[in-house]
Copies of this chain bind each other. A is one copy, B any other.
Amino acid sequence: MTNIKDVALHCGVAISTVSRVLNDHPDVSEETREKVLRAVQELHYIPNNSARNLVRTTSDSIALLVKGVNNPFFSKIIKAIEREITLRGYTLELHHMDTAEDELRIGAQLANDRKLIGILFLGGRFNYSPEEMALINVPSVFCTYTNTFGNLDAGSYSSVAIDDKQAARDAVETLVSLGHRKIAILTDNDSDNSISELRFQGYKDALATHSIPFDSNLVACTGTFSDMRAIYEATSKLIARDDTFTAIFAIADLMAIAAIKALNDHGKRVPENCSVVAIDGLELSEYTLPTLTTLVQPAEEMGLVCAKTIIELIEHPGKNRQFTFHTVLRPGGSVGRLNA
């Protein structure tokens, strides 16, 4: 059966030229176009669908790869991304993947299979290497990503994130300023090379600033950002291990909500017996009892900048940028001054 190579040989042009003709690319001379179309006919070359996919060089699709379980914070970002992408005339393809999967490998394969014009990554590791980045051969933007544990050149990637370490320091500062020194942390993971580890480091930094000794007994790893039962159980174990802490820094709002429930079920009322502070700033946590004291991430703005950045990269290739957003403390009812 005739293939694209045969057509190219027959015409004395490059395979890519045949591909350009078959895909109606503008930069082909009329003479070449006719020669190729004639050869296609004479050789009975049938560009079937899979063959066409191989020669197709583009679509109008930007994929959003979401790593990990949906949470309300991600939902807000996704909606902002989808709105801007659609408004600008592109199409958003949504793909979820499990935390165990590798986002760069999956992204590279998707870009190839789907002829994507861009990829947005949401959630993931913070330790990409230049070799890994080279897998992705379309414009990409990493949302909620910082290259803290990797070694990428600033010019080689685009990202949108908060300063996770600073947000964690601010959270702990809030507790210290109210007299707390026995402060536990509720984190997904303390060494995941990602958000959790960074916030864990911010927690330790803040303790060190105030000469508060770090106590590994006060670290509760949940293994999840959104499985409320697992978070509840991790908090219960923490209480069983050492119930002398007077405050908890939970690295996400949903974690704080499950923790408050666990504390309550163990006879510790928030904020009377234990203060709780978190990072996220979900609207929801303004309506829980008690309301949550939390550092607000500007989810909508982050999603919008993420979408604008990928479109900018697609339309005017080349200039990578990293955006860092600030979090703002939203006072709630979950913290109180420590009674000495």
Contact = CB atoms under 8 A, between A and B. Distances in A.
Interface of A: 24, 30, 33-34, 37-38, 40-41, 44, 46-49, 52, 61, 64, 69-70, 72, 75-76, 78-79, 82-83, 86, 91-96, 114, 228-229, 232, 254, 257-258, 260-261, 264, 283-284, 286-289, 291
A100 to B, nearest CB: 15
How many subunits of this chain does the assembly comprise?
2
B288 A261 contact: yes
Q: Helix, strand, loop or mixed for chain A's interface? A: helix
Given A69-B79, A261-B287, 20 more contacts: A24-B49, A30-B44, A34-B41, A37-B37, A70-B78, A70-B79, A72-B75, A75-B75, A82-B94, A82-B95, A83-B96, A91-B114, A92-B93, A93-B94, A228-B284, A257-B284, A261-B289, A261-B291, A264-B289, A289-B289
Contacts of A260: 289
Nearest 10 pairs of A and B residues by beta carbon: A94-B94, A70-B75, A261-B287, A37-B41, A258-B287, A228-B287, A289-B289, A228-B283, A24-B48, A75-B75
Contacts of A258: 287
